A and B are shown apart, each in its own frame.
Chain A
């Protein structure tokens, strides 16, 4: 619970930072939905799926805070979520729910109004909930928390709109974003203890160390964005 309250505080502060970040009067804003594949996590991921690749969906919000020459600096916040489940050792049903709450900065360098390379990086909190069923000592659900950070480079492909031809203009458009990079996460540690059964007085237990999960690895993302 202490880990969770830390994360909750972080999410709240991050939300305030991103939304309240002072923006120029003619700032652009963006809402994006992305699908990400995190590649090359550790082999512990095999406990919850057939590969080491973790698929996640991301909902992001960003707005510009500074313009330079032809480029712009953005602040962004995002919530990423992904779940996988499988059967471990043909006996235990397992699942892993991963959530990331991140804040970051992005720099865009338009080549054409509709072709915008970008780099971005951010930090945040990682929550991973491991569930395990099929144990005689009761189902296990434990949430581990950690730090996460990412560095990505990619390309935005925007729908060309008439307002884009005007200098410092602002309007609505949509587009696609393709990006790749690296995500670092501190390991999530899990232990297993017998589930408490209501108000029954149980014997003291010794937690079993299930080991750690590391989600660090390469990252590719594709998404749709709406800019306004």
Chain B
């Protein structure tokens, strides 16, 4: 009897690595320029969907174990993956060091093209708009690792254009704290201080409760500059939420929750007496509009650079970025959001309220606004309250999102007549994407359909899906419907005009080659 028992014992002995039983920890989808990626931090697998192949294919890349955060670069060509690492505590485990992985397509397959070693398990990343730098920091979330100490003000500054170097790239530093820790990082566009003179600076602004910190990214040996937003010793709390930069005046505007005004930080040149000193200094100023700003944009009107703020007092303020002179313009209704149209060099600001949705939007013509004030404002009434506004890729129309199950969206033409076309539906729009510049696609998890709207003709069509959708993404003109299934389930639509026969369903993306995996503890 002993041998059968021994055999049963052998069969029952659990020598299986933990990764086979651990729950998947998949984040994504991350839309990239020609593909879509997901990262499974539990197994260390990156799934790379190429919708352009026929049929669509999924490639797996063994990387990203202990992934805590991932982010595509602004050009969507690379995926940056932060891994928190872990210490081996069991036999068969391997120690994984924290790192920033750069994943990009090399030929047909994705590959890790750089691994930047980190000294701490950061879980947030901010990437510069030009994709040349990234700063890793800690989020406010409770730490997932059992470290005894954690320094929440530590940063890792990564030069993504240079090869990893254990000593210099990334550069780790701790910023001075006034009792808080980073909430986010914002990168300045190239700035000259004073404007029009000298080299362009690469500055980053770290946002923390009650203060902001300036970092000169080109001079890592120079100390950071901390700018308090409240008097030292004050019990007031202000939380920076939005930063806009005025390169024309070398001014940084900070909007903060809890502050009665925006903060204007004018950057002035100074001559350093020590190599570790900065050659610029921010001078803080509050324009004293006395208005609590809820959103803001910066625009140029002739030679003037103007900051336009939407205020809690149902008005907008126009603040001259150079002189800090201001004027206010009553809007007669709550406004907390400003959409600049077109985004780069705005000529029109469209104002609405996300927190108190109204059945209208207000157009503000920015040219000569300071002089014309109310004469530049027109109100456009819509059928339903406005919850969100999005400009179409060509900038000629606005998608007005209504939180209504009947009139899901409206298409607001930005031409002279500003016609408004309501688009009816059955359910609330939960996710949408533009396929190229011509089509809008939308889904709702309560309806197994992909709604497609031709923005040129406003013709609609439906594509019946086999499964309930969770999200729709676009990769060029292709549409990817992610069904949010635990096994990884997507529907690839080659084109917004494609019939059902041309679509492809991929099921089990996260189980791709699972039986061949050599998973560890």
Report which A residues bind B (CB closer than 8 A): 35-37, 39, 42-44, 46-47, 49-55, 87-92, 134-137, 140, 178, 190, 192-194, 197, 200-206, 208-213, 220, 222
Docked-complex contact A135 and B507, CB < 8 angstroms: yes
| Contact A203 to B16, CB < 8 A, known contacts A194-B466, A208-B509 | no
Which of these, B8, B11, B506, contacts A206 with CB under 8 Å? Answer: B506
| Contact A211 to B515, CB < 8 A, known contacts A47-B20, A50-B13, A91-B24 | yes
| Contact A53 to B17, CB < 8 A, known contacts A136-B467, A212-B516, A222-B3 | no
| Contact A206 to B466, CB < 8 A, known contacts A37-B10, A51-B12 | no
Docked-complex contact B20 and A137, CB < 8 angstroms: no
Query: Smallest Cβ distance from B520 to chain A, in angstroms?
Result: 10
A202 to B448, alpha carbons, bound, how many Å? 12
In the complex, 14 of the A-B residue pairs with CB atoms within 8 angstroms, ordered by the A residue number, are: A37-B7, A44-B514, A49-B11, A53-B13, A89-B22, A89-B24, A194-B505, A206-B56, A208-B507, A208-B508, A208-B511, A209-B513, A211-B515, A222-B4
Which of these, A46, A88, A137, A202, contacts B489 with CB under 8 Å? Answer: A137
Residues of B within 8 A of A134 (CB): 486-487
> Which of A51, A91, A208 has the most CB atoms of chain B within a 10 A radius of its CB?
A208
A52 to B11, alpha carbons, bound, how many Å? 7
Query: Smallest Cβ distance from B508 to chain A, in angstroms?
Result: 4
A188 to B516, alpha carbons, bound, how many Å? 11
Docked-complex contact A46 and B16, CB < 8 angstroms: yes
| Contact A208 to B506, CB < 8 A, known contacts A44-B515, A89-B20, A222-B3 | yes
Docked-complex contact B506 and A205, CB < 8 angstroms: yes
With CB as the reference atom, state the residue of chain B lying closest to A204.
B504
Query: Smallest Cβ distance from A200 to chain B, in angstroms?
Result: 8
With CB as the reference atom, state the residue of chain B lying closest to A200.
B466
Docked-complex contact B7 and A137, CB < 8 angstroms: no
Q: Does B517 contact A (CB under 8 A)?
A: yes
Docked-complex contact A211 and B514, CB < 8 angstroms: yes
Query: Smallest Cβ distance from A188 to chain B, in angstroms?
Result: 9
Residues of A within 8 A of B519 (CB): 43, 46
Residues of A within 8 A of B506 (CB): 205-206, 208
Which of these, A51, A136, A222, contacts B10 with CB under 8 Å? Answer: A51
With CB as the reference atom, state the residue of chain A lying closest to B7.
A37
A205 to B491, alpha carbons, bound, how many Å? 9
With CB as the reference atom, state the residue of chain A lying closest to B54.
A206
Report which B residues bind A (CB closer than 8 A): 3-4, 7-8, 10-17, 20-24, 42, 55-58, 465-467, 483, 485-487, 489, 491, 500-501, 503-509, 511-519
Residues of B within 8 A of A53 (CB): 10-11, 13
With CB as the reference atom, state the residue of chain A lying closest to B488.
A208
Which of these, A36, A51, A203, contacts B14 with CB under 8 Å? Answer: A51
Query: Smallest Cβ distance from A172 to chain B, in angstroms?
Result: 24
A43 to B42, alpha carbons, bound, how many Å? 17
A136 to B508, alpha carbons, bound, how many Å? 9
Per CB-CB distance, the 9 closest pairs between chain A and chain B, nearest first, are A211-B515, A44-B515, A136-B485, A211-B516, A50-B14, A192-B508, A208-B508, A137-B507, A90-B23
A32 to B487, alpha carbons, bound, how many Å? 43
Docked-complex contact A210 and B466, CB < 8 angstroms: no
Residues of A within 8 A of B24 (CB): 89-91
With CB as the reference atom, state the residue of chain B lying closest to A223.
B4
Docked-complex contact B486 and A136, CB < 8 angstroms: yes
Residues of A within 8 A of B42 (CB): 89
| Contact A90 to B21, CB < 8 A, known contacts A194-B466, A205-B504, A222-B3 | yes
Which of these, A35, A42, A92, A211, contacts B487 with CB under 8 Å? Answer: A92
Residues of A within 8 A of B8 (CB): 55
Residues of B within 8 A of A92 (CB): 486-487, 511
| Contact A43 to B507, CB < 8 A, known contacts A51-B14, A137-B487, A203-B491 | no
A88 to B491, alpha carbons, bound, how many Å? 24
Docked-complex contact A46 and B20, CB < 8 angstroms: yes
A192 to B508, alpha carbons, bound, how many Å? 7
Docked-complex contact B7 and A222, CB < 8 angstroms: yes
A135 to B507, alpha carbons, bound, how many Å? 9
A137 to B491, alpha carbons, bound, how many Å? 12
A197 to B505, alpha carbons, bound, how many Å? 14
Docked-complex contact B15 and A51, CB < 8 angstroms: yes
Query: Smallest Cβ distance from B53 to chain A, in angstroms?
Result: 10
Docked-complex contact A206 and B55, CB < 8 angstroms: yes
Docked-complex contact B11 and A55, CB < 8 angstroms: yes
Residues of A within 8 A of B507 (CB): 135, 137, 192-194, 205, 208
Which of these, B11, B483, B504, B511, contacts A210 with CB under 8 Å? Answer: B511
| Contact A51 to B13, CB < 8 A, known contacts A46-B519, A137-B507 | yes
Docked-complex contact A35 and B14, CB < 8 angstroms: no
With CB as the reference atom, state the residue of chain B lying closest to A138.
B507
Docked-complex contact B513 and A51, CB < 8 angstroms: no
> Which of B8, B13, B489, B507 has the most CB atoms of chain A within a 10 A radius of its CB?
B507
* Additional A-B contacts beyond A87-B21, A202-B505, A210-B508 (19; CB < 8 A): A42-B515, A43-B518, A46-B20, A51-B12, A51-B14, A89-B42, A135-B507, A137-B485, A137-B489, A137-B505, A192-B508, A197-B466, A203-B503, A205-B504, A206-B55, A209-B513, A210-B513, A211-B515, A212-B515
Query: Smallest Cβ distance from B88 to chain A, in angstroms?
Result: 19
With CB as the reference atom, state the residue of chain B lying closest to A37.
B7
Which of these, B503, B509, B513, contacts A211 with CB under 8 Å? Answer: B513
A90 to B504, alpha carbons, bound, how many Å? 28
Docked-complex contact B22 and A90, CB < 8 angstroms: yes
Residues of B within 8 A of A90 (CB): 21-24
A213 to B371, alpha carbons, bound, how many Å? 76
Query: Smallest Cβ distance from A185 to chain B, in angstroms?
Result: 14
Residues of A within 8 A of B487 (CB): 91-92, 134-137, 192
